[in-house]
Chain A
């Protein structure tokens, strides 16, 4: 056992090393293709126009954080993401529970939900901008339409798949209709919401950034839009990288929350190393 664990750990360390090497190689390639080291000054300038220069990109990113210029933009983007995620999840949970428990309503709504889900909802962004203005609300609205369906379908499925035995057992233990909803359907559906958490947080982020990109006065998407307007490719890439970094952080946060809230979920391997 011990030996195998050690092997696993070793290969894991090696894996991380290789992953680091991979990204380093990518950056080195990028650097060599955009700086006049091996290639001529003219062609370096040419490629740099399209792909930016890694050191310049770093400089922009570091400057953003040291000067603090990025924080209000980042804060607004994260705030939009959070709002879109919360509102979308609550709506999805509520509507999902309701439709799953009301067969008539769900039969009535079914074709419309399918249609609305099939529609590329990003094109709603201009309409939301008209309805809610260029502020936070229009981005949240876009994010909500993206998050809602993920959560909704998961909850709907979750409620449909509540074990009939668990349900019958709760009824025999004296649960009323409301108690069934609160103590059986809701926890069961919530676990499905959590399993869709990674996707829905990502979608909320997409909603916020795309919304900003299509029209705003603040946010990381706005920064990217501004830079693109003057062909400042370094800043565009720096913006993309900051967004990626925060997307990763959000995802890690979700993993943490998930691990805390879904302790009751069976894991495949339960043994601990002694």
Chain B
């Protein structure tokens, strides 16, 4: 695999919005057990305005990679470059959408969306207006006062999306955000995400185990090896036209070709991951 710098060069000498530079993540074993190397020498980059998906077998350390990019986890070796500058602490330019429930259960939908602005000391009136506007944009007008437990799974994801996007982050880190949703809701959310994304082209690093989702959404798909010692195995440019409809595009011939090509690489890793999980 080429290094982050080389990838950046191939993207036309633009400084990548986000780059992993030979990142290794090792966790100390429990009770003095063997050290577990989740990610080893991983280099990959996301160009400005680029939508990159990372696919890999379950348990291969995808979330670890994302947590490192977010600055929630410090890499054991290597570094993260944000717009060319090494990351230290929380990645303030990134918005993070979590796989599991991340809303504050004691806050209403509106108060949850407001939270980020509140943390940044935006005046109450202004932040509430903006939050109402965002809830409307994700299709939740009229649900402002509902608490998370009173919303469906799909609605909670929309609130989480609004909560993240209201801060207008330069890049989005998404950790299988729609994996818990049923397939129809999922397609709706994916289309909405693409709509929102195409409006101002943020850089996106999208983690998923679903290859179809990855191809349908992205400009580029990165395949990870099975863990431990996960690292990128290959990259595929997705040359499907935009705007796309995630449900329809799955039927196009190019989509199927890409799917076959990537699956050929991914399949052996999935089997490896499965064999390891069985042990």
Residues of A at the B interface (CB closer than 8 Å) are 163, 165-166, 168-176, 179, 183-184, 187-188, 191, 263-266, 270
Q: List 17 A-B contacts (CB under 8 A).
A: A166-B103, A166-B104, A166-B105, A168-B67, A168-B96, A168-B102, A169-B102, A170-B104, A172-B72, A172-B91, A173-B116, A173-B167, A175-B119, A183-B119, A191-B106, A264-B149, A270-B150
Chain B residues with CB under 8 Å of A191's CB are 106
Check A264 against B147 for contact (C-beta < 8 Å): yes
B1 interfacial contact with A, CB 8 Å: no
Q: With A168-B98, A169-B98 as given contacts, are A174 and B167 in contact (CB-CB < 8 Å)?
A: yes
B101 interfacial contact with A, CB 8 Å: yes
- Which of B96, B103, B115, B149 is within 8 Å of A183, CB to CB? B115
Residues of B at the A interface (CB closer than 8 Å) are 67, 70, 72, 90-92, 94-96, 98, 100-108, 115-116, 118-120, 147-150, 163-164, 167
**In the complex, how many angstroms separate the beta carbon of B18 from the nearest chain A beta carbon?**
14
Residue of A nearest to B116 (CB): A173
Check B98 against A173 for contact (C-beta < 8 Å): no
Check A174 against B92 for contact (C-beta < 8 Å): yes
**In the complex, how many angstroms separate the beta carbon of A217 from the nearest chain B beta carbon?**
44
Check B104 against A174 for contact (C-beta < 8 Å): no
Q: A166–B156 Cα gap in the complex (Å)? A: 13
DSSP class of B's interface residues: helix, strand, loop or mixed? Answer: loop
Check B102 against A165 for contact (C-beta < 8 Å): yes
**In the complex, how many angstroms separate the beta carbon of B105 from the nearest chain A beta carbon?**
6
Chain A residues with CB under 8 Å of B96's CB are 168-169, 172
Check A170 against B115 for contact (C-beta < 8 Å): yes
Residue from A169, A170, A263 whose CB has the most chain B CB atoms within 10 Å: A169
Chain B residues with CB under 8 Å of A171's CB are 72, 90
Q: With A187-B104, A191-B106, A263-B147 as given contacts, are A172 and B94 in contact (CB-CB < 8 Å)?
A: yes
Q: A265–B116 Cα gap in the complex (Å)? A: 22
Q: A163–B67 Cα gap in the complex (Å)? A: 16
Q: A175–B114 Cα gap in the complex (Å)? A: 12
**In the complex, how many angstroms separate the beta carbon of B17 from the nearest chain A beta carbon?**
16
Residue from A165, A166, A172, A265 whose CB has the most chain B CB atoms within 10 Å: A172
Chain A residues with CB under 8 Å of B120's CB are 174
Residue from B106, B115, B147 whose CB has the most chain A CB atoms within 10 Å: B106
Q: A179–B119 Cα gap in the complex (Å)? A: 7
Chain B residues with CB under 8 Å of A265's CB are 105, 149
Check B116 against A264 for contact (C-beta < 8 Å): no
Check A173 against B119 for contact (C-beta < 8 Å): yes
Residue of B nearest to A270 (CB): B150
**In the complex, how many angstroms separate the beta carbon of B100 from the nearest chain A beta carbon?**
5
Q: A172–B120 Cα gap in the complex (Å)? A: 12
Q: A166–B72 Cα gap in the complex (Å)? A: 13
